[in-house]
Structure 1
């Protein structure tokens, strides 16, 4: 049961999605942030929409949707801090670091979700539990 998301008394109803569909939606919850990054809040909005639509259909998608959303919110905050720090020049370097970390961790999470594994983003503030 290593690849199953953590269970709790408040876990959603049993999965109404097939395993392959659940893995697909979980992967999309992570990777939808990539094209969404071209819009102001798209990288947060796309995972939020996928999570809200699919969370009741699969505990696996619920887990990955929360992870994706928490990470994207954390990255949005880190980007805002980087933009503010551009006034003292360190932000110009920091924004690149945040961008590279965002891209790498988002791709890793999408691959792990597609493989049916649970992935917990490092350096993420857990706003949604």
Structure 2
């Protein structure tokens, strides 16, 4: 368990929430601004990796909509993105380590 300040928790939460506005830019900026905090660095790298993998999955699902299998995949991956982001936010606020379900412990 990390010992994080209140501001570190907010930065980590912002990295997860960045999927709504700036999915790739915000975690990189957070990594640069808060490079000295292991807690923020962990959450920002996990969020960045998830945003990248999630974009790939959603793109593949979009292309597969031509053969109708992509529609259920869009729903499943969309719900997974929402659930994973909420879980990441809660983990950041509770000072816990978190790995997204589809990325695991890659970094």
Q: What corresponds to 1:86 in structure 2? A: 65
Residue 52, structure 1, aligned to residue 50, structure 2: no
Higher helix share: 2
Can you give the 5+ residue segments of structure 2 that lack an aligned partner in the other structure? none
CA RMSD of aligned residues (A): 1.8
Partner of 2:81: helix, strand, or coil?
Answer: helix
How far 1:20 sits from its partner (Å)? 1.1
**How far 1:112 moved relative to its partner?**
0.6
Q: Secondary structure at the match of 1:29?
A: helix
Of residues 86, 103, 107 in structure 2, which corresponds to 1:124? 103
Q: Indicate yes or no: 2:49 matched with 1:104.
A: no
| Pick aligned residue for 1:69 from 40, 48, 54 | 48
With normalisation by structure 1, the TM-score equals 0.74
How many pairs align? 106
Assess if the C-alpha contact under 8 Å between 1:33 and 1:47 holds in 2: no
- Secondary structure at the residue paired with 1:43? coil
Normalised to the residue count of structure 2, the TM-score between the two structures is: 0.88
Where does the alignment leave 5 or more consecutive residues of structure 1 unmatched?
6-17, 37-41
Larger radius of gyration: 1
